[in-house]
Structure 1
Amino acid sequence: MGRGRRRLAAAVVLALSAGLLTGCGDDSGVPVVTWYINPDNGGQSRLAERCAAAAGGTYRVDVQVLPNDASQQREQLVRRLAAKDSSIDVMSLDPPFVAEFANAGFLRPFDPADTATLTGDVLRGPLQTAYWKDQLVAAPFWANTQLLWYRKSVARAAGVDPTATGFTWDAMIRAAESQRKVIGVQANRYEGYMVWINALVASAGGEILGDVEAGKDASPEIAGPAGDDAARIIGDLARSPAAPPAMSTMGEEEARSAFQSPSGGFMVNWPYVYSAAKESVASGGIGQDVLDDIGWARYPRVAAGTPSKPPLGGINLTVGAFSEHPEQALDLVRCATSLPNTIAYMLDAGNPAARGAAYDDPGVRQAYPMASVIRQSINDAGPRPITPYYNDVSTSVQITWHPATGVTAPATPEESAAFMSDVLQGRRLL
């Protein structure tokens, strides 16, 4: 997850040009470190060039681009690592998959001596995703979170302040209804929907899965007060006039389109939407008045007296367990996750840094006027369940909570818990 809305064409170009980093068919004897990345705008490839140059030519980097979809990225890597593929040196891994890969023995743990270097000043949210069984198995590279985006004119007309400490989902739904506007969300049956559900459950003080280290014997906790709160909010919005058309097929880009339209009022989405709106102005897709009308705030609360737990996305860097170049791979990870390079990558690729100090950089603050809100939201974010069975957990939730118009409390959380337990115990197949 995270930005997720990258152009496939750019990814293809990167894949075809990866040989420029390595000099494909290199016969010089210099080790070639292969870095499997999620698609971006070329920022990781440019970072790979800088790190290889900084290493003084002691290794080269070959960048291999994975599919756009996070689940497809996971599937491709799992197949290779199950076959003990030694060509996988470094991976850009979606945080929810770290526990699965580590538990299967696919990741090379970092030595305690590297812990301070790889985790220093890393914000609390992404740091939670970097460990498995008390071992550091991943280095947070970039992190992500969702903000509440709102049209200033709509909030003003509705008499609400989305930046107020106690602003809730219920208040937002009422405000949108009063102005006959819609709320952009991600409610298609995909990982983005799981992100929303998890954020609501966590913001209500609960969790989807408890006792995660018990593996398949972990306890589904979604059936309870927090799950009921999440179901009520989702169902209320889906059956409300504030629901956008085709809400149950809506992803990040569909939510952005609805928000930028004349009917847009509010939206929860990743920070990339702000730069995307500026690009839309430049291309003539929307007017400057729309961009000027966009405000931002922390993710809305479930209960006015309880701080929200915003979604957490991003990418962690990991070293493959079967790598033939572990020292060079570690050097690349150290280089890529250093503070100067995470700042450079944030400005280049538009993906928020995992290190808190990056948000004090003048260039970052100029490019991201909401930098302080992003940093605090990432720090306070609620990760999705950290379990080796995450794919089963996520898919179970997506199946039982879709479509959003059918979500009710307590029926949906109870069905979800029973279904998830059956899947984990092998009594049902996905």
Structure 2
Amino acid sequence: MREVARGRRRSPRRVAALLGVTAMGATTLAACGTDDGLTINVYYAPEDNFQAVVDDCTEQADGRYEIVYNKLPRGADGQREQMVRRLAAGDTAMDVLGLDVTWVPEFAEAGWIEEWTGGHKATASRDVLPGPLETATWDGKLYAAPKNTNVRLLWYDERITPEPPRTWDEMIAMSRELRERGEPHEILFTGAQYEGLVVAYNSLTESAGGRILSPDGEDVVVDGGAVRALEILREVSGSGLTDPSLTNQQEDEVRMAFQQGRGAFQLNWPYVHASYAAEKPDELEHFKWAPYPGVAEPGTGRSTLGGYNLAVSATSQHKPEAFEAALCLRSAEHQKFSALNDGVPPTIASVYDDPTPLDPSRPADPEDNPTMVDKYPMKDTIRDELTDAAVRPATPAYQTLSIVMAEVLSPPSGIEPAETAQQLRDQLAEALSSKGVIP
């Protein structure tokens, strides 16, 4: 590994120089550190340009330690499995952990991650949007620093629907009318039996003003809003208004179906804009977005949050340095860098308003030196959604509950709202009390 020269500290504007850096391959084992032998191991999901951020934070450490990026599996289940096994075994080589937003309660309750207090807590919380900050909190305490977030938007082609629907009822009515005219009409969303279907159901439930669990995560609710969400899922998927391959569709299948002209609407994450720009640049001007649709009335839509938080392992032997490294990795400058290069929405509010290009020392250029407006034209809609986004049910047992919900909800066309709601109540209650067997 390269030595980090002492006495040098990279200024914020030099982060832009990372654009030209070819990132070193991430290791899967603890690697060499500084001359003093101090290494901070970060375990985080694959992110194309994250190694450049890691290198910049190592340089900012000024020789006191080296940060090593240990790349986790691409799938969320594989990421969680690897970390849980190592943490349960008391692995002391783990310092900073990249946690999916649903894992904080589980890891905190198990005693695997440290609470953020004092100055670290103040810095990790400063200017963070409310929804992302809530995902890093458990039992009234902060256990992680929000790194990046995500919300689903409603995407549409203005040539097919010049004005987007504001509610699910409007969208269903527009879909039926388009079908009668022989035009692309499908409402595309993640309907496969996995977490994406749970996200779709939770977003609908929250948009209908409902709840799946109580706020403290201890009791199953599945109230009237949750039943209304089941009714919508059944109506959309059981009446020819969505893709015939719905039960096989995850995020990228939804994206591709829309780009191939099979849909009028898709509910998906912001990354689809960059994909559309790369694959259909001549039609990008017609690819538009709108807030997640409401249920009862316009303006009540609530998309479920995604994203990652950075936590410090309770078994780390270098906790002061681990907290410092985590704060650097998710600083405003690095969140902006990751947003512009990897398409992950920031958690820090001020980043959305930053008018400067990636490298402030050079003129802005949409391709070579972009601003947030260039790469994130939907940034204001994203930020608005983040101020009142839906959070997945907060409970240490979320992983089990998610598997149960995906199984009960699949296929969406087979939902019988009243019966399915009772199934959810019964099976989720069993899962919460550890009586149920994971399907």
CA distance in 1, matches of 2:78, 2:27: 23
Is 2:149–2:305's contact at 8 Å kept on the other side of the alignment? yes
User: What residue identity is the alignment partner of 1:336?
Assistant: L
| Equivalent-residue separation in structure 2 for 1:424 and 1:228 (angstroms) | 20
Q: What is the CA distance between 1:67 and its match in structure 2?
A: 1.2
Q: Which residue of 1 aligns with 2:235?
A: 236
Give the 3-state SS of the residue equivalent to 1:179 in structure 2: helix
- C-alpha distance in structure 1 between counterparts of 2:120 and 2:34, whole Å: 32
Q: What is the CA deviation profile of residues 292-327 of structure 1, one whole-angstrom value per residue up to 9, with x for unaligned ones?
A: 221100001111156111120011000000001111
What secondary structure does 2:311 align onto?
Answer: strand
Distance 2:308 2:420 in 1: 31
Residue 434 of structure 2: SS of its match in structure 1? coil
Match of 1:29 in 2: 36
Moved >4 Å (runs of 4+)? 19-22
Match of 1:398 in 2: 406
- Whole-angstrom CA distance in 2 between matches of 1:322 and 1:20: 18
Write the deviation string for residues 264-300 of structure 1: whole angstroms up to 9, x where unpaired.
2000000000001111136xxxxx23x2221100001
**Match in the other structure for 1:429:** 437
Residue from 356, 365, 368 that aligns with 2:376: 368
Distance 1:335 1:424 in 2: 37
Which residue of structure 2 aligns with residue 136 of structure 1?
Answer: 142
Alignment TM-score, normalising by the size of structure 1: 0.89
CA distance in 1, matches of 2:73, 2:176: 39
Q: 1:342 aligns with which of 335, 347, 354?
A: 335
Mapping 1:17-416, distance limit 5 Å: 17-18=25-26, 24-26=31-33, 28-41=35-48, 43-156=49-162, 161-162=163-164, 167-180=166-179, 181-212=185-216, 218-222=218-222, 224-281=223-280, 288-289=282-283, 291-304=284-297, 307-362=300-355, 363-416=371-424
Is the counterpart of residue 418 in structure 1 residue 426 in structure 2?
Answer: yes
Q: What CA deviation, in whole Å up to 9, does each residue of 1:154-194 have, x standing for no partner? A: 213xxxx326xxx1112112212211211110010111111
Q: Does the 8 Å CA contact 1:37/1:44 hold for their aligned counterparts?
A: no
CA distance in structure 2 between the partners assigned to 1:186 and 1:211 by the alignment: 26
Identify the range of structure 1 (135-144 vs 106-115) with the bigger mean alpha-carbon deviation. Answer: 106-115
| Separation in 2, partners of 1:253, 1:367 | 20
Compared with structure 1, are the counterparts of its residues 26 and 90 closer, same or farther at alpha carbon in structure 2 (3 Å cutoff)?
Answer: closer
Q: Deviation of residue 206 (structure 1)?
A: 1.5
Structure 2 SS opposite 1:186:
coil
Structure holding more helix per residue: 1
Residue segments in structure 1 that go unaligned for 5+ positions in a row: 1-12, 283-287
Q: Tell me how far apart the structure 2 counterparts of residues 370 and 401 of structure 1 sit (CA, whole Å).
A: 31
Q: Does the C-alpha gap of structure 1 residues 369 and 99 become closer, same or farther in structure 2, counting only changes over 3 Å?
A: same
Contact 1:30/1:58 (8 A) holds in 2: no
Counterpart in the other structure of 1:8: none
- Equivalent residue pairs, number: 397
CA distance in 2, matches of 1:306, 1:45: 39
Task: Give unmatched runs, 5+ long, in structure 2.
Answer: 1-21, 180-184, 356-370
